[in-house]
Amino acid sequence: MFEQFSALPADPILGLLAEFRADDNPNKIDLGVGVYKDEAGHTAILQAVKEAETRLLRTEESKVYVGPAGTPGFFSTMSELVLGAGHPALTDNRVRGAQTPGGCGALRVLAEFANRAKQGATIWVSDPTWANHVPLLGYAGLNIETYPYYDRATSSLRFDEMYEALKKVPAGDLVLLHGCCHNPCGADLTREQWDLVTELALERGFTPFIDMAYQGFGEGLAEDAYGARVMASKLPEVIIAASCSKNFGLYRERVGLAMVVYANSAQADVGQSQLLSVIRGNYSMPPNHGGAIVETILTDAGLRANWESELSDMRERINSLRTGLVENLVSNGADGDFSFIQRQRGMFSFLGISPEQVARLKKEYSIYIVDSSRINVAGVSQANMQYLTSAIASVI
């Protein structure tokens, strides 16, 4: 049976990480893997998370299953985090969903859910998009198409082309949108552009499928959720996948949210039965620990304030690093305009250099970047900033 298999190539980012770990250069820099790192290059546990875990260990009395949807408290607090307390979709009782094993779990469950509603439905994804979107959505049975999004030559958003392409999306199709901090390019829609896409979705009848993996890492918790909130208030149907990996630092705990906005509460009840059926036939029910941490933080005023402060510190550090990168590239005489890095948001940006230049950075300087030149800005530090920017200047 298994002799028919042929070996598949290693994931490029995981392969790059293995090379980095084997490199003995003391100046080596990893800008590939998409996790937040502090100034020391460490992905620390947030203090609010540590305190929440301490409380859970002290008070938890059972490890019994939590059910396919997870705990009601997790969903209610997370739906308010994404949509905002008092959002009309919540007050109208037309939102349902579930806790999932990470943002990936949310994407896959929601893709299978959409495929149940319309077998072989087409979902339009941005060019470029996060590489794992394609297998997560495609393996669930959805047909993948792309719309223009980012111009690598000018390092800018191709919104006019994107808008013209979305004008041709048929009713009943899905359109994947990055809620904020676009991965891999870091270029986000403005509020005005979100409004235009919302009106277009209403006119054309396509369903937005929003991936909210980095809420709080761009401009702020409310600011980053503008697109999701305006769409959920004006459209009859919206699908939202959210992740707690980055903003709560719960990477290995795998905590995500699958959320669907329906036209009315009756449709929401029916839809929820289908979503729970998808979950039951997939992983049955989610792990509880990470979701309990999130619920504990979001329901305790003190812990929530501490968490929001820590999240703000991470966001401000990333934005400061973006400014520092541009300034140091200029001071080191790097050829070209890198000001776009400062305008973009989140952990990722394309440097806009060639695969050959990326290879030179690895070979000559032990700087590890994927071939597309996407960098994890959070992998930069004040300590390695000068070394990194002078190396980039030397290969351009």
Amino acid at 68: P
Three-state SS string over the chain comes to CHHHCCCCCCCHHHHHHHHHHHCCCCCCEECCCCCCCCCCCCCCCCHHHHHHHHHHHHHCCCCCCCCCCCCHHHHHHHHHHHHCCCCHHHHCCCEEEEEEEHHHHHHHHHHHHHHHHCCCCEEEEEECCCCCHHHHHHCCCCEEEEEECEECCCCEECHHHHHHHHCCCCCCCEEEEECCCCCCCCCCCCHHHHHHHHHHHHHHCCEEEEEECCCCCCCCHHHHCHHHHHHHHHCCCEEEEEECCCCCCCHHHCEEEEEEECCCHHHHHHHHHHHHHHHHCCCCCCCCHHHHHHHHHHCCHHHHHHHHHHHHHHHHHHHHHHHHHHHHHHHCCCCCCCCHHHHCCCCEEECCCCHHHHHHHHHHHCEECCCCCEEEHHHCCCCCHHHHHHHHHHHC
Q: What residues are annotated to the active site?
A: 130, 211, 246
236 within 8 A of 247, measured Cβ to Cβ? no
Q: Are strands 367-368 and 29-30 parallel, antiparallel or unpaired?
A: parallel
Residue 239 β-bridge partners = 209, 260
Q: Write the CB contacts of 277 (distance below 8 Å, at least 6 apart in sequence).
A: none
Q: Are 380 and 36 in contact (CB under 8 A)?
A: no
Place of tokens 């059910």: 67
CA distance 28 to 15: 16
